[in-house]
Structure 1
Amino acid sequence: MATIFDPAVDQITRVLCFAAHPDDIDFGAAGTVAQWTRAGVVVDYCIMTDGDAGGFDPEGQSEIVRTRRAEQLAAAQQVGVRDVHYLGERDGFLEASTGVIKQVVAVIRRVRPDVVLAMHPERNWDRIQKSHPDHLACGEAVTRAVYPAAENPFAFPELEAAGLASHRVPWLWLYAGPSHLENHFVDVTDTVDDKLRALHFHTSQHPDSDRMDAVVRQLLRDNAARGGLPAGRSAEAFHVVPVNSAQTIAGF
């Protein structure tokens, strides 16, 4: 499927990335994020759950939220992210509820991004681990927030009254979804090491860093091959959706 996003035309200055758990963005998009920040793009993260169901050590569960926040902050700093926002939802119980959507709308209106990047709301049957229920809920909540709630001043009027004016998001980028929907492949060959360094901070979840590196490198090479990039390149894959671009008009 040919991409509809042209970096030479569709300029990006600010990006807001959503994930269900700490480490999700680093697996899905940290190479692309590193490229953006190197080019001067301002990138923020929003982590929707506290990751409190993660880890392997029962004795460490009382500190797992603090641990995972510290890991995510370090990983974000590795790829040049400006700020990390947290919604604090319970790990394993995230839902695209009105309350969660309102929180997402508030963050979008505060950051006012050109691109909102989020997990895909559709299940990936080829690699079910990409489709944790929290991942799907993240994608659904963010998609519903991007359109129409974030751009509708009459949705959540209390946010408008608090000074969070409506914002029309030009682009929605989705990751970790079904491969047949991917339509944009970012060559991240030059930032693979940045991505892996970011992932290495998540030691509470991924203690076998050598095995993780090998798997991630292969997945990136596979993405590049599917995207038609030259042999030996690495890529991250996205389903890019125009929301308020030159290809759309208000209300359609």
Structure 2
Amino acid sequence: MAQTQAQAQAQAQTPPGVRRVLAFAAHPDDIDFGAAGTVAGWTAAGVEVTYCIMTAGDAGGFEPGDRDSVSQVRSREQQAAAELTGVRDIHFLGERDGFLAVTPEVVEKVVALIREVRPDVVLSMHPERNWNRIQASHPDHLACGEIVTRAVYPAAENPFAFPRLAEQGLEAYKVPWLWFYGAPRERENHAVDVTGAVDTKLAAIRVHASQHPDITRMETAVRSMLQDNARRFGLPGGASAEVFHAVGVNTDQTIAGF
């Protein structure tokens, strides 16, 4: 089958050697706002992407009615949105929305998943507060970033951390790259051209209908942010980009144990 222009562009932007990505979020819809365009590009290039959503999203939405069904609604929305970006494998940790905490128990769950998937890139929300746009720094977002960072280093690669995981066959694993989305602007150091995936990204975001009181305004804001990202990183006029804080954890440029 002939390769499409979108697939060719996706392959050109996929980091060398990346075959598996494990993406974490605090709530259903976070990944779609932060990285759906990049994820769609990766899956189009043949990369296997797994999602892990840490909370049940039970405090989301705007309707005071049947709150008991909110988690189920948001889980279905996330599954449908993930399918649009080519993702089939989703894990829901089910922590309470608004109360995600950095605990050994949650870190262990994340370490277990990292060791199971053995990703080339771990994608996560950022652990630092963004004072320029504090809405990006929900406490659950910050907790997600800190949990994942602790899990990636040193726990996932330390054979003596969480020894019962090794007993279950989940051996220590060194993550090559940790990419953060939702980072403070001064931390952003990498842009991905998602011009060809903007419609897919917006379609994935729209699936989370329970979270959007004004879909038109949301789409306008997202398009504007993506175009601003592209301008800041010097992409050609009319381009759109998602931006990340990319951290090499175990690469040719890093030294183990330092």
The 5 Å alignment of 1:41-190 reads 41-190=47-196
For the residue of structure 2 that corresponds to 1:136, the secondary structure is helix
Tell me by how many angstroms 1:158 deviates: 0.3
Distance 2:50 2:213 in 1: 26
For the residue of structure 2 that corresponds to 1:129, the secondary structure is helix
Distance 2:13 2:158 in 1: 27
Q: Residue 75 and residue 96 in structure 1: after superposition, are their counterparts in 2 closer, same or farther (change >3 A)? A: same
Distance 1:222 1:123 in 2: 20
Q: Is the 8 A contact 2:14 2:42 kept in 1?
A: no
Say if 2:41 is the partner of 1:13.
no
Distance 2:144 2:239 in 1: 30
- The equivalent residue for 1:249 is 255
Partner AA of 1:155 in structure 2: A
- The equivalent residue for 1:197 is 203
Tell me by how many angstroms 1:7 deviates: 5.4
Tell me by how many angstroms 1:9 deviates: 6.5
Partner AA of 2:100 in structure 1: L
Say if 2:47 is the partner of 1:30.
no
Alignment: residue pair count = 247
Partner AA of 1:11 in structure 2: G
Cα root mean square deviation, aligned: 1.2
Distance 2:62 2:196 in 1: 33
Distance 1:71 1:105 in 2: 26
Q: Out of 8-17 and 135-144, give the one that drifted further.
A: 8-17
Q: Is the 8 A contact 1:55 1:61 kept in 2?
A: no
Distance 2:84 2:212 in 1: 17
For the residue of structure 2 that corresponds to 1:233, the secondary structure is coil
Tell me by how many angstroms 1:164 deviates: 0.8
Distance 2:40 2:87 in 1: 8
Partner AA of 1:229 in structure 2: L
Q: Deviations over 1:75-121 (max 9, x none)?
A: 00010013010111000000111111001101111111000000000
TM-score, with normalisation over the residues of structure 2? 0.94
Q: Residue 19 and residue 240 in structure 1: after superposition, are their counterparts in 2 closer, same or farther (change >3 A)? A: same
Distance 1:101 1:7 in 2: 31
- The equivalent residue for 2:45 is 39
Tell me by how many angstroms 1:61 deviates: 1.0
- The equivalent residue for 2:3 is none
Q: Deviations over 1:220-250 (max 9, x none)?
A: 0011111111111000000000000111121
Tell me by how many angstroms 1:58 deviates: 1.4
- The equivalent residue for 1:237 is 243
Q: Deviations over 1:43-95 (max 9, x none)?
A: 00000000000011111311000000000000000100130101110000001
- The equivalent residue for 1:227 is 233
Q: Is the 8 A contact 1:20 1:47 kept in 2?
A: yes
Q: Is the 8 A contact 1:42 1:82 kept in 2?
A: no
Structure 1: unaligned runs, 5 residues or longer: 1-5
